[in-house]
């Protein structure tokens, strides 16, 4: 787990980026702790005390020299709508960094980044780290419609190996992100795939990677309450290295998990073979 700190962070930028909002926060002591895959938990819309739970967001960029961290968020409900109405100069209570980071291959490796919607948010810092150590990356960026894509120009500035998919065909290849996945993995001889996006997409990407015999790490977005490993609201079933399935807390044991170990079909359930299932009343 990261070593999080709580800070009152000043908003230094809040601007639209496609269908999303880019939020840059300034607070000492956070940026230097952030690794790709970490997330930040922001207190939002607490004026009348009704939104007690912090909202989690992946860190997109962290700049220790400027003491800033950047998140990119979609308006999903009341909390994110309130966040979008904040102004430069306002102060947000933030706890970060949280969760684990993506494992990074040692030495030069070819990696494919697969991002659905704003899923590219945690993948660009990772791509930078991999190329810094002599590796290479490709991207597949997908969304339902063109305005929900994130990071297309950023990816193209990074590498020529960029494929874009939209389900309605409004940009790039028409279809789901998994359509060109196998071909893209083979084209760049990917040793590892990193995926971030909706759960259904992560599951589909993990299945393709398993078929192709390529390692796959996924950034999961289970609904979280405490964000620090106490409440168990964010658990999902994962097969351990000993072959035993357990519920793991995605806020501290994740959000970056080996996609081949997550029991995607059992998320939200307590399968009977899970360690401790009988005590939980599951079957
Ligand atoms: C590790 C992690 C990283 C995330 N990174 C990003 C990101 O980079 N950009 C982004 O736009 N969104 C991200 N999310 C999702 C974001 O946290 C939710 O969209 C946000 O919490 C919704 O809050 P709300 O009050 O606007 O919506 P609500 O009205 O509370 O709910 C709207 C939707 O958001 C889901 N949601 C609500 N609270 C949470 C929560 N605490 N955790 C997860 N989902 C929740 C609900 O299940 C519902 O589907 C991330 C979630 C997790 C767990
Ligand atoms: S959110 Fe509380 S244990 Fe993960």
Ligand 2 atom with the smallest distance to the CA of 231 is: 2
Helix (H, G, I), strand (E, B) or coil at 230: coil
Q: How far away, in angstroms, is 56 Cα from ligand 1 center?
A: 6
Q: What is the pLDDT of residues 119-168, one digit of tens each?
A: 999 999 999 999 999 999 999 999 999 999 999 999 999 999 999 999 99
Spacing, Cα 42 to ligand 1 middle (Å): 11
User: pTM for this one?
Assistant: 0.95
Specify the 3-state DSSP secondary structure of 101: coil
Residue 161: predicted pLDDT:
97
Confidence band, pLDDT 50/70/90 cuts, at residue 280? low
Quick one: pLDDT band at residue 52, thresholds 50, 70, 90? Answer: confident
What pLDDT does residue 49 have?
A: 65
| pLDDT for position 281 | 57
Q: Is residue 119 classed exposed, middle or buried when 0-12, 13-18 and 19+ CB atoms within 10 A define those classes?
A: buried
Q: Do the beta carbons of residue 29 and residue 58 sit within 8 Å?
A: no
> Could you tell me the distance, in angstroms and rounded to a whole number, from the CA of residue 250 to the centre of ligand 2?
7
Determine the pLDDT at residue 216.
98
- The pairing of beta strand 192-196 with beta strand 110-116: parallel
In order of 16, 37, 92, 104, 112, the CA distances from 131 in angstroms are 28, 16, 33, 11, 12
Nearest atom (ligand 2) to Cα of 250: 4
> How far apart are alpha carbons 88 and 80 in whole angstroms?
16
Task: Give the position, in ligand 1's atom list, of the atom nearest the Cα of 118.
Answer: 9
Give the chain's mean pLDDT: 95
Beta bridge partners of 246: 238
Q: What are the pLDDT digits (tens) for 160-187?
A: 999 999 999 999 999 999 999 999 999 9
Assign 221 a pLDDT band (cuts: 50, 70, 90): very high
pLDDT of residue 107: 86
- Ligand 2: centre distance to CA 255 (Å): 11
pLDDT at res. 121: 98
Going along the chain from its start, the domains and CATH numbers come out as: 5-98 (2.40.30.10), 101-219 (3.40.50.80), 225-283 (no CATH)
pLDDT band at 283 (very low <50, low <70, confident <90, very high): very low
H or E segment and range at residue 215: strand 215-219
Ligand 1 site-directed mutation target among 50, 80, 248, 254, most atoms within 8 Å of CB:
80
The pLDDT, as a whole number, for residue 19 is 95
């Amino acid at each position: 787990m990261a070593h999080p700190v709580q800070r009152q962070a000043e908003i230094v930028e809040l601007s639209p980026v496609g269908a999303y909002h880019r939020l840059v926060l300034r607070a000492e002591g956070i940026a230097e702790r952030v690794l790709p895959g970490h997330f930040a938990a922001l207190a939002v819309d607490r004026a009348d005390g009704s939104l007690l739970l912090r909202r989690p967001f992946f860190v997109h960029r962290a700049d220790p020299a400027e003491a800033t961290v950047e998140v990119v968020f979609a308006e999903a409900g009341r909390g994110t709508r309130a966040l979008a109405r904040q102004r430069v100069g306002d102060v947000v209570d933030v706890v970060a960094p949280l969760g684990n980071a993506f494992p990074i291959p040692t030495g030069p490796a070819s990696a494919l980044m697969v991002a659905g919607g704003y899923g590219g948010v945690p993948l660009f810092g990772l791509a930078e780290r991999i190329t810094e150590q002599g590796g290479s990356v490709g991207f597949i960026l997908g969304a339902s419609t063109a305005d929900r894509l994130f990071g297309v120009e950023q990816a193209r500035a990074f590498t020529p190996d960029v494929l874009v998919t939209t389900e309605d065909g409004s940009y790039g290849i028409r279809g789901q992100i998994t359509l060109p996945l196998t071909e893209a993995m083979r084209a760049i001889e990917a040793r590892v795939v990193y995926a971030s996006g909706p759960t259904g997409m992560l599951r589909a990407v993990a299945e393709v990677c398993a078929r192709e015999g390529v390692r796959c790490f996924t950034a999961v977005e289970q609904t979280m309450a405490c964000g620090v490993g106490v409440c168990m609201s964010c658990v999902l079933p994962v097969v351990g290295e000993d072959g035993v399935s357990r519920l793991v807390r995605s806020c501290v044991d994740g959000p970056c998990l080996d996609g081949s170990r997550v029991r995607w079909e059992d998320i939200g359930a307590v399968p009977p073979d899970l360690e401790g299932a009988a005590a939980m009343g599951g079957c």
